[in-house]
Structure 1
Amino acid sequence: MRKLALSDEILMTVEKPARYIGGEVNAVMKDKDQVDIRFAMCFPDVYEIGMSHLGIQILYDMFNRREDTWCERVYSPWPDLHKVLKEKQIPLFALESQDPVKKFDFLGITIQYEMCYTNILQILDLSGIPLSAEDRTMDDPFVIGGGPCTYNPEPLAEFFDLFYIGEGETQYFALLDLYKEWKNSGKSRQDFLKAAAQIPGIYVPSLYEVTYAEDGTIAKMKPICPEAPEKVKKQIVMDVTNTFYPEKPVVPYMKATQDRVVLEIQRGCIRGCRFCQAGMLYRPTRERDLEMLKKSAYAMLKNTGYEEISLSSLSSSDYSQLGELVNFLIDEFGSKGINISLPSLRIDAFSLDVMSKVQDIRKSSLTFAPEAGSQRLRDVINKGLTEEVILDGAGQAFEGGWNRVKLYFMLGQPTETEEDMKGIAWLAEKISERYYEVPKEQRNGKCQIVVSTSFFVPKPFTPFQWAQMCTKEEFLHRAYVVNHEIKEQKNKKSIKYNWHEADVTVLEGILARGDRKVAKAIRSAYEKGCLFDSWGEYFHNDLWMEAFAQTGVDPDFYTVRERSEEEVFPWDFIDIGVTKKFLLREWKKAHEEKITTNCRQGCSGCGAATFGGGVCYEH
């Protein structure tokens, strides 16, 4: 029987002790004396969030298929346990063995969102691992980062030994094999890092030197040794059917954020929304085979006991075999009480027909993401969605029995005018009017429309990476314009309006677009007590502003400053396949209010089609 790292006395004092005891269904247990490599896989947020992440489940399953490797999991302790671990000097531990993380060979951290950066320092601090990579010795694990935020790793460069740029199924085994060889060689920690830098997709920050121009922008970034490449190339799996996928995902004892089987039906997106980082990073689009998905659905339902299947992708409607897959799932599992969840659908006749079969219309709401209030601005962002299509979809939904609609928009996008902002309210009003055009006998109660606006962050590797961000005050003014205009509408009682926190968005922008100088502010913020910054009740903007001021980091330099076309970005050393030339061309087309067709309609020459030695499935 495993001995828990925490006593019953401690577990009784913290909220949700099930977060820390491990032993879940399908958790992998091994004899630590019979493996060569111990890998702690970390999601730097609370257990319920981390357990819902498919990427961790894929890598956990993949690593544990190796007889020489034991991969375990670790999550951020909630503030109540954080305090106990600090006070009692109990080292942070992995769930499976309950052994201290510091005893592992690797600590792998998936970095999904900028607002978890202080939680990364929490993990290192509680584990007893020096925060700065340069201070680590042979007694410390190698700290490696992966995930979408590693496409600008520079704000975190000081804290990581390595970053893995791309999809983990391709090069991780080469890295583990290299580690085994190094471990028995007697060579130094630096020798391993130099050898690892030669594996495609591996970025070792300590092997690069950054110099700055007088205006604070990057003058040059270059390798300081021959082992490090000038460009680090994103790693992708071209054949996503014949690769790793977990048939026995770990099932938590407590309710996780997503309590269901997740079927990833494809990677990438054929759309070219100019604000969307994922749409550029994960090109080209790659579909999983229908038969593989059917087999996975059977196995995962059997091995988990879940009662829901969710189809995961950036744009599910674009999966070429969606009709066949959904009909199979309905026919095979619908009568057995299995619910089917279909996020990321375009609202059209097919989607509404499918959703009417798999959802309780009286309980569910439909989601539209117009992203902008006017057609002009939707053309600027290349959304590819007309008002006619939106109203037609809403009308069909209302006639089908739905009465609740969620609308998602983004405020602060390039070229946005006051008329674009007010257009959000006008579109919501037109949708509500469309509801009342439906005959009374077909309506299902009162119409309910929820309008939500997030604030725009110009992310790396998007056509909008050259754009300025709004200030906090400008964001709030735009939200006020929308709010005021909604209150002026005839059907205002049917429309509810929510908007995102402006100060959180500004911080996200700094961290997303930052360079190595930002690291000292992140460390300072953590030392001041910043933690779980994505959780509203724990976000302290005043402490972050103090940290920036005390470390000499100017937030405006990374957010509201205009970028020239020639500027060297902190992330320019990464090759994602999509060329900077294409992104710049799209940036100019945005200002001309010209749209670019999606990949299925014709290749736009972004560079991803032949990336990775394969071909985009669309061509």
Structure 2
Amino acid sequence: MRKLALSDDILMKIEKPARYIGGEVNSVMKSKEDVDIRFAMCFPDVYEIGMSHLGIQILYDMFNRREDVWCERVYSPWTDLDQIMREENIPLFALESQDPIKEFDFLGITIQYEMCYTNILQVLELSGIPLEASERDESDPIVIGGGPCTYNPEPLAEFFDLFYIGEGETVYDQLLDAYKENKKNGGSRKDYLEKAAEIEGIYVPSFYDVSYKEDGTIESFRPNNPHARESIKKQVVMDVTNTTYPEKPVVPFIKVTQDRVVLEVQRGCIRGCRFCQAGMLYRPTRERNVEVLKEYAYKMLKNTGHEEISLSSLSTSDYSELKELVTFLIDEFKKDGINISLPSLRIDAFSLDVMGQVQDIRKSSLTFAPEAGSQRMRNVINKGLTEEDILEGAGQAFEGGWNKVKLYFMLGLPTETEEDMRAIPELADKIARRYYEIPKDQRNGKCQITASSSFFIPKPFTPFQWAKMYTNEEYIARAAIVKHAFNEQLNRKSLKYHWHDAEVTVLEGVFARGDRKTAEVIKEAYRLGCLYDSWSDQFDNAKWMQAFENTGIDIAFYNQRERSMDEIFPWDFIDIGVTKKFLQREWERAMRAEVTPNCRTQCSGCGVAKWKGGVCIEGKN
């Protein structure tokens, strides 16, 4: 019988003790004496968020299929337990064995969003692992970073021993085998990092030096170790059908954000929206075979007892076998009371028909993401959606019985004018008008249009990576223009408007495109008590501003300037397949408000065809 790391007294004192006890259905138990490698897989946020992450479920399953590896899970302790662990010197522990993380060979951290960076330091400190990689010795685990934020790892470079750039199913086995070999031969930590640096897709930050120009931009970025590569090539799984996928995902004890079976139907996106980092990083688009997905649906529902199944993809409507898959799921599982959730659908006749079959129309709302109010602005961002498309889709939905619509927009996009801002409430009003064109006796009560806007953040490896951002005050002023314009609309009683927090946007902007110098701010913010920064009730902007002041790091340098075309970016050493020339070309097209066709309509020569797979070779012999 394993002993819990937390006493009953502590478990009774804290919120949701089930976050920390492990033992869930499908969690993997092994004996530590029977394995060569112990791997702690961490999502640096609370259990409910981390348990909803598909990537961790995939790697957990894949690692534990190896007899020589035991992969366990660890999440950020919530603030109540964090305080107790510090007061009582309780080290952070893994859920399965309840053993301290410090005893593991690896600590792998999934880095999903910029506002979890202080939580990464929390995980390291509570584990008793030095924050800086340079201070670790042979007794510390190797700390690995993976996930979307590793495509600009530089703000976190000094905290990680290595980063895995790309999709986890490709070279992790090599990485683990190299560790075993090094251990057997009595090799040191540095010996292992040198072996790891020779594996494609692995970046060891300590093996690279950065020098800066007088204006603060990068002068050079070069390897300082003969084992390190000049550029790091992202890892891509070309055959997503026959790669590993968890048939028995771990079932959480408590309600989590995504309490359902998730079927990943494809990776990548054909659309090429210029603000969207995922759309560039995960090229080329690769589809999973529909028959295999049907089998997964059966097995995963049987192995978990979940009552909902969800399709996962950046743009589910573009999955070529969608009709067959959805029809199968409805015919097969609807009668058993299984809910079917279909995010990321475009609003067209087929999607509406399907949603009508799987949703209670009277209760549910439809989601459109026009991203911009004016057609000019939608062309700038390459949204590929006309006002006619939007109104036609809304009209079909209203005639099908819906009366609630959510609209998502962005403010602060490159070239945005006041006219573009005012076009947001005008578009919302046109959608409401379309509802009231339906004869009164055929309407489903009043319509409710809820529009919300986030503030645009330029991300690495997008055509907008050169763009400038604005100050907190300027973002609020833009939201105020939109808010006032909503009050002027004819159907204002049917319209609601919300906007996201601008203070968080400013910080995300700094760390999305930051260099190694920004690590100082993260450390200082953490020292001042910043934690769970993506949670609005925990976020403390005043402490962050203090951290910038204390470290002398200038927000304006990172956010409020348009980059020159020849500037060396902190992430330029990573090869994602999409070329910088293509991104520059797309930036120039954006400035002319020119639309680039999607990948199925016409190849735009982005560079990922070199992988010779997925959408790039569809229909070609």
TM tier relative to shorter chain: over 0.9
Q: Is 390-399 or 545-554 further displaced after alignment?
A: 545-554
Q: CA deviation at 1:617?
A: 4.4
Cα-Cα RMSD: 0.9
Residue number in structure 2 paired with 1:90 = 90
Structure 1: gaps (5+ residues):
none
Matches within 5 A, 1:248-267: 248-267=248-267
Matches within 5 A, 1:433-452: 433-452=433-452
Residues 599 and 615 of structure 2 are in contact (CA less than 8 Å); yes or no, is this contact kept in structure 1?
no
* TM-superposition CA deviations, 1:224-268 (whole Å, max 9, x none): 111100000000000000000000000011000011000000000
Matches within 5 A, 1:388-399: 388-399=388-399
Residues 284 and 613 of structure 2 are in contact (CA less than 8 Å); yes or no, is this contact kept in structure 1?
no
Residue number in structure 1 paired with 2:291 = 291
* TM-superposition CA deviations, 1:131-175 (whole Å, max 9, x none): 000000000000000000000000000000000000000000000
Residue number in structure 2 paired with 1:245 = 245
Residue number in structure 1 paired with 2:384 = 384
Structure 2: distance between partners of 1:427 and 1:400: 21
Q: Is 183-192 or 504-513 further displaced after alignment?
A: 183-192
Structure 2: distance between partners of 1:350 and 1:614: 24
Distance 1:422-1:615 versus aligned 2 partners, 3 A rule: closer
Residue number in structure 2 paired with 1:455 = 455
Q: CA deviation at 1:610?
A: 2.0
Kindly provide the amino acid, as one letter, of the partner of residue 582 in structure 2.
Answer: F
Residues 266 and 312 of structure 2 are in contact (CA less than 8 Å); yes or no, is this contact kept in structure 1?
yes
Distance 1:16-1:577 versus aligned 2 partners, 3 A rule: same
Q: Does 1:199 align with 2:199?
A: yes
Residue number in structure 2 paired with 1:534 = 534
Q: CA deviation at 1:442?
A: 2.2
Kindly provide the amino acid, as one letter, of the partner of residue 29 in structure 2.
Answer: M
Residue number in structure 2 paired with 1:164 = 164
Structure 2: distance between partners of 1:264 and 1:614: 15
Residue number in structure 1 paired with 2:15 = 15
Structure 2: distance between partners of 1:612 and 1:202: 22
Identity of aligned residues (%): 74
Residues 285 and 617 of structure 1 are in contact (CA less than 8 Å); yes or no, is this contact kept in structure 2?
no
Residues 269 and 285 of structure 1 are in contact (CA less than 8 Å); yes or no, is this contact kept in structure 2?
yes
1:538 counterpart SS class: coil
Q: CA deviation at 1:613?
A: 7.6
Residues 286 and 616 of structure 1 are in contact (CA less than 8 Å); yes or no, is this contact kept in structure 2?
no
* TM-superposition CA deviations, 1:86-112 (whole Å, max 9, x none): 000000000000000000000000000
Residues 286 and 615 of structure 2 are in contact (CA less than 8 Å); yes or no, is this contact kept in structure 1?
no
Kindly provide the amino acid, as one letter, of the partner of residue 282 in structure 1.
Answer: Y
Matches within 5 A, 1:496-515: 496-515=496-515
Residues 457 and 509 of structure 2 are in contact (CA less than 8 Å); yes or no, is this contact kept in structure 1?
yes
Residues 235 and 612 of structure 1 are in contact (CA less than 8 Å); yes or no, is this contact kept in structure 2?
no
Distance 1:5-1:41 versus aligned 2 partners, 3 A rule: same
Q: CA deviation at 1:2?
A: 1.4
Residue number in structure 2 paired with 1:310 = 310
TM score, norm. by length of structure 1:
0.99
Residue number in structure 2 paired with 1:54 = 54
1:536 counterpart SS class: coil
Residue number in structure 1 paired with 2:216 = 216
Residue number in structure 2 paired with 1:155 = 155
Residues 521 and 548 of structure 2 are in contact (CA less than 8 Å); yes or no, is this contact kept in structure 1?
yes
Structure 2: distance between partners of 1:246 and 1:571: 32
Q: Does 1:231 align with 2:231?
A: yes
Q: CA deviation at 1:188?
A: 1.5
Residues 286 and 614 of structure 2 are in contact (CA less than 8 Å); yes or no, is this contact kept in structure 1?
no
Structure 2: distance between partners of 1:615 and 1:561: 36
Structure 2: distance between partners of 1:585 and 1:413: 18
Q: CA deviation at 1:549?
A: 1.2
* TM-superposition CA deviations, 1:62-86 (whole Å, max 9, x none): 0000000000000000000000000
Residue number in structure 2 paired with 1:432 = 432
Distance 1:611-1:89 versus aligned 2 partners, 3 A rule: same
Q: CA deviation at 1:614?
A: 7.5
Equivalent residue pairs, number: 619
Kindly provide the amino acid, as one letter, of the partner of residue 564 in structure 1.
Answer: S
Distance 1:59-1:476 versus aligned 2 partners, 3 A rule: same
Residues 315 and 344 of structure 1 are in contact (CA less than 8 Å); yes or no, is this contact kept in structure 2?
yes
Structure 2: distance between partners of 1:385 and 1:524: 44
Residue number in structure 1 paired with 2:604 = 604
1:408 counterpart SS class: strand
Q: Is 540-549 or 289-298 further displaced after alignment?
A: 540-549
TM score, norm. by length of structure 2:
0.99
2:145 counterpart SS class: strand
